[in-house]
């Protein structure tokens, strides 16, 4: 009996190891553990074993059964995994075939730039406001220290609707509107469309500006410069260089223009920056006290500074857009490149 | 404004400063030099030569062989020109020379005889008869005999100048002149300004015996005049002609050239009258009368009215004041006596007149920017100095000066030193500040914190601390800020940043659309009013009241849009025309609706989000899904009604209507006629939302409920109804029939077939039931379904299929 059991274990385990599919494995199970299986028969014949051997043989028989069962379970696992792997291999796809379902569209490059700029400003404590594009002469010019027939009006070819109503030529109208309605200290930034009556290959009659204004006590050109430097870094990267030039705007005094590293050539010099490595990004300045007073702000207590970039050009350069007309043509072949 | 380097040398010593450096320094101190032009850029290796001998060419009848002395050597030149002669001084271009017309000279041989170069015509040197006699001749330019052989031609003809094209900002009218720029250069380099020579001799007598001046308008604060007789009209000397020529002004004759010279040098427009045409020996400055007319020097004739200021004699207008002179009194070949005018006219008046007639002259350009009331006397003296120097006539003693404005040579200003530093945010040492201001001619001294500044009459732009701060920093150098370091807003307040709510909503909606495959477009907000016709707007639609631009750039962009749809339809048509397919586009933009026309108050500017789709297989319900999803972002209760938009398909479109009946959006298929109007031959789907309205809604709040422990039970039913019965009606009926245990209902199939009967359809619904407090029994569900079927039959004649 003992020898028989030893034999079963040896042959059985070998058979199990040799089984190469689930069907064979099941046959082996039946052969040993089935109702008429060899091991089942032995266990059933236990009552014929002399009483003094029964304990020993019984223990051995159980060990043998356990060994067979364990070997079966392990092998089952191996064979099932192999089958799963084979099945999955059959389902293999060509991962280079095109994707399905809705494909993402894209924001306009101008919106992306606007959003980036606004995020920077909001993080610095600015409130984003928007205002009218059809505007009175007062807010667009007079309250900005440009009386009627002032020569500074020649700097901007304006679309007029009536003698007193026009299409704003600058987002600076919002400087005045905010100064009239908000109490200092405040920081505002106004993105928006502006209109000028000139159009050629490098100008569009409608373009986009930002106007930022800070009114507070104890602020001056240095704060303006520090702020602009920070904005430039966030817009164009840590390495950006800044260059300050004098300029003239009727509503700021002193007035400056700020150039930053040309984003087309990264400062190496190209046709766009005429080899200088810099291109103009901001007009800026300290708000003329006359302008503060006209809008009801005490210029002995408060001062202000303002800055504004024309953004179309920056959008063009940062996205390497070859033609300004692309911005308004809405050709899908262009828009798709902005995904 | 064009300024000559050589001219500047009359007023400031530039011996140690190059033209390039001046350009750089002027730019960084506020006078942007847009271009540095070399007057003789295209001219070199051309010399004055003297023809020693002329012989016939041995092999060609039409050529001659000339031996020429060019100073440093003798050369042989072959020419076909017929106006050369032995002893003539001529321009000779040698090997490697460049000429003004782009020709490059190489030695050559003509019919076997060597030629070392070429004689030049005026054209080849870039000059004409206006500049030098014989300059326009088709032939060789014969030079004056006093030009020495071997002299470079650009030196001999005084073309060796550098011209700065300077962008003078409107706050500095004083710098529309050579002297103004020279003063700036003095300030920048700390050099001394050399005053112009204004001395002259007179022949005695009294100007008042020859001319009187009467000013009858407030638009002329000052008018000065003088009188010159026994005039010898001739060419100005070459030095004077070259000054004008190099800055682009045509020399004419000595008297006219002097007036132009003063304009450029002093920034004071002048006029010279022929005295014999001044009726009544009298000059009257007045507004014109309606009906008067004047023929002017540009060849045109203008009808005048009382808005136009004129200079008149006793009978007629002779000049449009500050703008252009009349032909009836200008200097001509027979002029022997002249009145010189140096006046100041109101800038607005000149500006309006120049605009009215569309005439911009060097004179009007300066008056429009403002001519200082102190300037005429200096300028007039300077002009008379030139008359004397050039010997063009005899100057009668005295100047007529009618001045209504109080003359003030200087103005005193007291400002705070510390405030200037605060504006600049940097500390400029007191001594440095004074040095800069004094260098600019702003005579300054300091006591404690108070700087006393005496500004010269030329600087009317300086009024307060900010103006002084700018003067200081532009000379001190803005480059101090290039590498600025420190803490921003060190001494000021913290403010909290935020977005305007509409922008937040708009950005959310935009991002959702982008995720749904849409591309954002940007469109002009100007269009042509015919867009309203193309979109089939009714005659009485208020959107036909478009705002018209008074000075449009073109008909295409002559009105401000009241409708969004036009732009996207144009975009769709354009994209289809270039072969782009599967278009999903949107735009966030504005419409501008006037309250009344003509505009007396600002229009309502309303922000909209517009959407257009042109794609195979797209349908109404896909678009509806887009709109529903967008509207889930706001707390809006709305219903859909058949759309009233003229440009949408009447059967396949809907309006989004709020509880109080306001239409805040619409969507649907574009009307077939509209598509035709835009040359689009495919279906287009369009939608629009009023984002201002949506952004003004209260923030969406969420109140969630506990998830029920009991299962949801589903039952499917299909009913046949008349075509006109809507899903909305059926769903409402199902919901109400189910009562409390209703959970949800979905339409999952619509089936149409002749077998169902004419104008019938089968609607299949999955109805879901659930209870909050128990598991529903089969009986309860069956009873509910029966109720539903009865209700549908009773209300809509629905038959179970």
Residues B528 and B613 in one domain: yes
Residue A58 within any structural domain of the chain? yes
Window B:130-189, CB contacts with A under 8 Å: 169-173
Residues A8 and A51 in one domain: yes
Q: Which of A87, A27, A109, A34 is nearest to A326 (CA)?
A: A109
Residue A276 within any structural domain of the chain? yes
Examine the pLDDT at B778 and tell me if it is beyond 90.
yes
Residues from chain A that touch B353, judged by Cβ atoms under 8 A, are none
CATH number (domain holding residue A273): 3.30.930.10
Arithmetic mean of pLDDT, B85-114: 87
Distance from CA of A161 to the nearest CA of B (A): 5
| Cα gap B544→B566, rounded to integer Å | 13
Q: Which of B459, B451, B415 is nearest to B435 (CA)?
A: B451
Examine the pLDDT at A286 and tell me if it is beyond 70.
yes
Residues B641 and B746 in one domain: no
What is each CA distance from B109 to B65, B67, B98, in whole angstroms? 11, 15, 19
Arithmetic mean of pLDDT, B378-392: 96
Residues A78 and A117 in one domain: no
Q: DSSP E strands: which ranges in B352-449?
A: 394-395, 400-403, 410-416, 443-447
pLDDT band at B514; cut points 50, 70, 90: very high
Nearest to B497 among A122, A149, A331 (CB): A122
Residues B30 and B122 in one domain: no
Examine the pLDDT at B107 and tell me if it is beyond 90.
no
Residues A168 and A85 in one domain: no
Examine the pLDDT at B306 and tell me if it is beyond 80.
yes
Residue B701 within any structural domain of the chain? no
pLDDT digits (tens, 9 = 90+) for B211-235: 999 999 999 999 999 999 999 999 9
Residues B445 and B528 in one domain: no
In whole numbers, what is the pLDDT of chain B averaged over residues?
93
Residues B530 and B650 in one domain: yes
- Which chain B residue's Cα is nearest to A103? B517
| Cα gap B77→B123, rounded to integer Å | 19
At which residue do the structure tokens 């805040």 appear? B664
User: Which is more confident, A36 or B657?
Assistant: B657
Percentage of chain A beyond pLDDT 70 is 99
Window A:101-160, CB contacts with B under 8 Å: 102-108, 110-111, 115, 118, 121-130, 132-136, 148-152, 154-155, 159-160
- The DSSP H or E segment spanning B341 is strand B338-344
pLDDT digits (tens, 9 = 90+) for A6-33: 888 888 888 898 888 889 999 989 988 8
Query: H/E/C letters for each residue in B518-571?
Result: CEECCCCCEECCCHHHHCCCCCCCHHHCCEECCCCCCHHHCEECCCCHHHHHHH
pLDDT digits (tens, 9 = 90+) for A73-88: 999 999 999 999 999 9
Residues A86 and A131 in one domain: no
Contact B65, B117 (CB under 8 A): no
| Cα gap A78→B116, rounded to integer Å | 101
> Cβ separation of A225 and B425 shorter than 8 Å?
yes
| Cα gap B644→B652, rounded to integer Å | 11
Examine the pLDDT at B152 and tell me if it is beyond 90.
yes
Residues from chain A that touch B526, judged by Cβ atoms under 8 A, are 195, 205-206
Residues B50 and B32 in one domain: no
Q: How far apart are the first and last CA of chain B?
A: 90
Residues B283 and B328 in one domain: yes
Interface test with B, best of A124, A135, A248 (most B CBs within 10 A): A248
Nearest to B497 among A121, A243, A289 (CB): A121
- Which chain B residue's Cα is nearest to A124? B497
Residues A20 and A157 in one domain: no
> Cβ separation of A246 and B370 shorter than 8 Å?
no
At residue B86, the 3 state secondary structure works out as: coil
Residues B428 and B391 in one domain: no
Window B:235-264, CB contacts with A under 8 Å: none
Residues A124 and A84 in one domain: no
pLDDT for the residue A246:
92
Residues B776 and B789 in one domain: yes
- Which chain B residue's Cα is nearest to A111? B520
Q: Which of B512, B421, B430 is nearest to B466 (CA)?
A: B421
- Beta-bridge partner residues of B478: none
Sign of CA dihedral B14, B174, B400, B281: positive
- Which chain B residue's Cα is nearest to A239? B483
Contact B626, B687 (CB under 8 A): yes
The length of chain B, given as a count of residues:
801
Residues B363 and B251 in one domain: yes
Measured between CB atoms, does B596 come within 8 Å of chain A?
no
pLDDT digits (tens, 9 = 90+) for B257-267: 999 999 999 99
- Which chain B residue's Cα is nearest to A133? B605
Residues A309 and A188 in one domain: yes
Residues B295 and B366 in one domain: yes
Residues from chain B that touch A139, judged by Cβ atoms under 8 A, are none
CATH number (domain holding residue B460): 3.30.56.10
- For residue B51, the tally of other CB atoms under 10 A from its CB is 24
| Cα gap B525→A134, rounded to integer Å | 11
Contact A254, A245 (CB under 8 A): no
> Cβ separation of A161 and B549 shorter than 8 Å?
yes
pLDDT digits (tens, 9 = 90+) for B608-651: 999 999 999 999 999 999 999 999 999 999 999 999 999 999 99
Residues A165 and A311 in one domain: yes
Residue A95 within any structural domain of the chain? no
- Which chain B residue's Cα is nearest to A200? B553
ipTM over 0.85: yes
pLDDT for the residue B651:
94
Window A:252-271, CB contacts with B under 8 Å: 253-256
- Beta-bridge partner residues of A32: none
Give residue B729's domain range: 713-800
pLDDT for the residue B95:
85
pLDDT digits (tens, 9 = 90+) for B596-605: 989 999 999 9
pLDDT band at A2; cut points 50, 70, 90: confident
Among A30, A63, A90, which residue terminates a domain? A90
Domains in chain A: how many in total? 2
Among B403, B419, B445, which residue terminates a domain? B403
> Cβ separation of A220 and B422 shorter than 8 Å?
yes
Residue A104 within any structural domain of the chain? no
Contacts for B358-362: CB closer than 8 Å, 24+ residues apart: B359/B296, B359/B298, B359/B300, B359/B320, B359/B323, B359/B324, B361/B323, B361/B324, B362/B249, B362/B260, B362/B263, B362/B269
Measured between CB atoms, does B505 come within 8 Å of chain A?
no
pLDDT for the residue A201:
64
Examine the pLDDT at B510 and tell me if it is beyond 80.
yes
Nearest to A331 among B520, B578, B598 (CB): B578
Residues B629 and B508 in one domain: yes
Measured between CB atoms, does B617 come within 8 Å of chain A?
no
Distance from CA of A92 to the nearest CA of B (A): 29
Q: Which of A288, A182, A303, A199 is nearest to B496 (CA)?
A: A182
Q: Which of B748, B738, B641, B626 is nearest to B687 (CA)?
A: B626
pTM: 0.85
Give residue A212's domain range: 109-338
Tokens representing residue A67 in the block? 């060994």
pLDDT digits (tens, 9 = 90+) for B714-746: 999 999 999 999 999 999 999 999 999 999 999
| Cα gap B555→B233, rounded to integer Å | 52
Window B:331-360, CB contacts with A under 8 Å: 347-348, 351-352
What are the backbone dihedrals phi and psi of residue A109, each rounded to the nearest 5 degrees, phi first? -55, -30
pLDDT band at A311; cut points 50, 70, 90: confident
pLDDT band at B800; cut points 50, 70, 90: very high
Domains in chain B: how many in total? 6
Measured between CB atoms, does B454 come within 8 Å of chain A?
no
Arithmetic mean of pLDDT, B185-192: 93
């Amino acid at each position: 009996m003992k020898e028989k059991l030893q034999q079963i274990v040896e042959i059985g385990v070998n058979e199990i190891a040799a089984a190469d599919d689930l069907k064979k494995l099941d046959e082996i199970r039946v052969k040993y553990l089935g109702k008429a299986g060899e091991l089942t028969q032995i266990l059933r014949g236990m009552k014929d074993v002399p009483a003094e051997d029964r304990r020993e043989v019984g223990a051995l028989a159980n060990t043998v059964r356990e060994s067979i069962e364990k070997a079966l379970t392990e092998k089952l696992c191996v064979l099932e995994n192999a089958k799963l792997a084979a099945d999955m291999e059959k389902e293999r796809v060509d991962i280079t075939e095109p994707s399905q379902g809705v494909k993402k569209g894209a924001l306009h490059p101008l919106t992306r730039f606007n959003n980036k700029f606004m995020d920077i400003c909001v993080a610095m404590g600015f409130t984003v406001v928007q205002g009218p594009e059809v505007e009175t002469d007062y807010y667009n010019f007079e309250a900005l220290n440009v009386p009627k027939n002032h020569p500074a009006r020649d700097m901007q070819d304006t679309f007029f609707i009536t003698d007193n109503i026009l299409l704003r030529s600058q987002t600076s109208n919002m400087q005045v509107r905010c100064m009239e309605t908000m109490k200092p200290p405040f920081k505002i930034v106004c993105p928006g469309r502006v209109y000028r009556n000139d159009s050629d290959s490098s100008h569009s009659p409608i373009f986009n500006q930002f106007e930022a204004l800070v009114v507070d006590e104890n602020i001056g050109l240095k704060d303006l410069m520090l702020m602009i430097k920070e904005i430039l870094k966030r817009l164009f990267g840590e390495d950006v260089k800044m260059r300050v030039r004098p300029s003239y705007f009727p509503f700021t005094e002193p007035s400056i223009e700020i150039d930053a590293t040309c984003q087309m050539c990264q400062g190496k010099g190209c046709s766009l920056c005429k080899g200088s490595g810099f291109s103009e990004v901001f007009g800026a300045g300290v708000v003329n006290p006359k302008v503060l007073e006209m809008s009801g702000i005490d210029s002995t207590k408060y001062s202000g500074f303002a800055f504004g970039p024309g953004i179309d050009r920056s959008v063009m350069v940062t996205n390497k857009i070859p033609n300004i007309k692309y911005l308004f043509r809405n050709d899908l072949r262009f828009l798709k490149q902005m995904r | 404004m064009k300024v000559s380097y050589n001219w500047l040398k009359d007023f400031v010593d530039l011996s140690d400063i190059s033209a390039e450096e001046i350009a750089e320094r002027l730019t960084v101190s506020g006078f942007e030099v847009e271009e540095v032009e070399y007057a003789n850029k295209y001219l070199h290796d051309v010399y004055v030569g003297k023809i020693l001998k002329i012989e016939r060419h041995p092999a060609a009848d039409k050529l001659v062989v000339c031996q020429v002395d060019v100073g440093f050597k003798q050369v042989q030149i072959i020419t076909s020109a017929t106006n050369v002669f032995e002893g003539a001084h001529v321009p000779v271009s040698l090997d490697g020379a460049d000429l003004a017309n782009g020709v490059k000279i190489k030695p050559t041989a003509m019919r076997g005889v060597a030629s070392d170069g070429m004689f030049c015509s005026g054209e080849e040197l870039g000059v004409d008869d206006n500049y030098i006699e014989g300059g326009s001749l088709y032939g060789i330019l014969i030079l004056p005999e006093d030009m020495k052989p071997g002299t470079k031609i650009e030196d001999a003809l005084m073309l060796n100048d550098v011209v700065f094209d300077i962008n003078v900002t409107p706050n500095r009218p004083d710098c529309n002149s050579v002297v103004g720029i020279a003063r700036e250069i003095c300030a920048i380099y700390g050099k001394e300004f050399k005053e112009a020579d204004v001395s002259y001799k007179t022949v005695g007598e009294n100007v008042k015996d020859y001319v009187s001046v009467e000013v009858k308008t407030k638009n002329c604060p000052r008018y000065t005049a003088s009188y010159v007789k026994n005039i010898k009209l001739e060419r100005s000397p070459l030095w004077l002609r070259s000054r004008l020529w190099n800055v682009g002004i045509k020399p004419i004759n000595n008297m006219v050239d002097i007036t132009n010279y003063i304009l450029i040098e002093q920034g004071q427009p002048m006029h010279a009258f022929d005295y014999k045409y001044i009726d009544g020996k009298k000059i009257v400055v007045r507004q014109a009368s309606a009906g008067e007319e004047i023929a002017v020097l540009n060849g045109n004739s203008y009808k005048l009215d009382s808005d136009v200021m004129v200079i008149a004699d006793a009978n007629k207008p002779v000049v449009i004041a500050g703008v252009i002179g009349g032909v009836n009194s200008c200097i001509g070949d027979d002029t022997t006596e002249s009145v010189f005018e140096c006046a100041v006219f109101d800038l607005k008046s000149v500006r309006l007149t120049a605009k009215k007639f569309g005439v911009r002259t060097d004179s009007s350009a300066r008056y429009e920017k403002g001519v200082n009331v102190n300037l005429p006397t200096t300028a007039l003296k300077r002009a008379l100095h030139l008359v004397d120097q050039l010997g063009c006539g005899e100057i009668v003693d005295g100047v007529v000066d009618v001045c209504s404005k109080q003359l003030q040579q200087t103005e005193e200003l007291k400002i705070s030193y510390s405030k200037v530093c605060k504006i600049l945010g940097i500390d400029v040492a007191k001594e440095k500040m004074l040095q800069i201001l004094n260098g600019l001619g702003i005579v300054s001294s300091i006591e404690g914190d108070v700087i006393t500044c005496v500004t010269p009459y030329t600087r009317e732009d300086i009024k307060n601390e900010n103006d002084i701060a700018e003067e200081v920093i532009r000379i001190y150098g803005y480059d101090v800020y290039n590498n600025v370091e420190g803490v921003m807003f060190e001494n000021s307040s913290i403010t909290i940043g935020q977005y305007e709510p509409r922008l937040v909503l708009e950005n959310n909606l935009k991002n959702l659309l982008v995720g749904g495959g849409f591309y954002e477009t940007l469109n002009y907000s100007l269009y042509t009013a015919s867009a309203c016709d193309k979109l089939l707007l009714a005659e009485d639609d208020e959107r036909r009241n478009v705002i018209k631009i008074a000075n449009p750039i073109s008909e295409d962009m002559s009105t401000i849009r009241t409708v969004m749809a036009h732009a996207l339809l144009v975009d769709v048509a354009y994209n289809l025309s270039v072969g782009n397919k599967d278009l999903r586009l949107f735009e966030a933009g504005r419409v501008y609706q006037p309250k009344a026309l003509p505009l007396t108050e600002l229009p309502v500017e309303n922000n909209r989000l517009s959407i257009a789709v042109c794609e195979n297989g797209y349908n109404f319900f896909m678009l509806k899904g887009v709109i529903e999803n967008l509207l889930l972002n706001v707390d809006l209760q709305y219903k859909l009604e058949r759309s009233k938009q003229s440009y949408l398909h009447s059967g396949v479109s809907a309006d989004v209507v709020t509880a109080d009946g306001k239409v805040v959006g619409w969507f649907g298929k574009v009307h077939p006629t509209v598509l035709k109007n835009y040359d689009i031959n495919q279906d287009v789907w369009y939608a629009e939302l009023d984002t201002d309205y949506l952004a003004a809604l209260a923030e969406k709040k969420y109140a969630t409920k506990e998830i029920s422990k009991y299962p949801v039970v589903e039952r499917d039913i299909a009913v046949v109804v008349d075509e006109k019965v809507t899903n909305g009606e059926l769903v409402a009926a199902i919901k109400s029939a189910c009562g409390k245990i209703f959970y949800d209902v979905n339409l999952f199939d619509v089936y149409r077939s002749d077998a169902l009967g004419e104008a019938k359809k089968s609607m299949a619904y999955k109805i879901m039931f659930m209870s909050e407090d128990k598991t529903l029994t089969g009986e309860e569900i069956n009873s509910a379904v029966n109720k539903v079927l009865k209700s549908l039959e009773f209300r809509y004649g629905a038959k179970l299929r």
